[in-house]
Amino acid sequence: MSKRKGDVQVSDYIFDIEALTHRRTILDPGKLANLNKQHLMTKIKATAAGGSSDVLSRAEGLLRESYPDSPHVQPEYLAKVVLALLPRVAVLPDIRQPELSSYFFTEPNLDSPIAQNLRRTVSNEAYSKVLTATQDLLNKQTDVVSAEDLRSLLHDMHTAVLPGVSLKEVMNSLRFALSGSKVGPSVPEIISIFGKDRSLARLERAKP
């Protein structure tokens, strides 16, 4: 394993490599990453079931270090973000990748090349309709809505009030407005983590 900055370190893996083999030099990095990801998923399931997790604590610490000036570092919020991000990484330090996690802690740069590439996948007319319809939908909600419920609500919204707009256009519009990134948790997960008020603020900020 290389020691250069940015390379994966042995300490980045959450399982004991020595327990696998003493011939560490022949271990395939791709296989190690896949094994580590499976191990992460096991830890996530245990945490979701109510167990404690050192992985969760380590991931929260990495995010606090990456975004020290963010007001969004409350323990409950961080736990939600971590649980949403961990299934999308192979090793813990990956959770700090800006395109994956920055929008949870800072306002997204909607003028960035990545964001603009995403924005160009949707026509101006469809984009405006989606944002307005979603704002109307969220304004009708009084409580925090789960990602699963939001998935159903967004599907119903798409069917009922957005004729001629594809579901892909709906999700790309919302992903752009909420995160400015092509990668990360699903749109319903992002909205659920942000909550009603913060999601509405992001949508309003992103309106043309």
Read off the pLDDT of residues 32-63 as tens digits, 9 standing for 90 and up: 666 666 666 666 666 555 555 677 888 899 99
Q: Which residue has the higher pLDDT, 86 or 81?
A: 81
Q: What is the pLDDT of residue 6?
A: 47
AA letter at 142: T
Q: Which residue has the higher pLDDT, 7 or 93?
A: 93
Choose the weakest-confidence range: 47-56, 118-127, 136-145, 165-174.
47-56
Cα 103 to Cα 66: distance, rounded to the nearest angstrom: 12
**Widest distance between CA atoms in the chain:** 61
What is this structure's pTM?
0.80
Q: What is the pLDDT of residue 92?
A: 84
Q: What is the pLDDT of residue 14?
A: 47
Return the percentage of the chain with pLDDT > 90, whole number. 63
b/e for 13-42, b at 16 or more Cβ within 10 A?
A: bbeebeeeeeeeeeeeeeebbebbbeebee
Q: What's the rounded mean pLDDT across residues 67-95?
A: 90
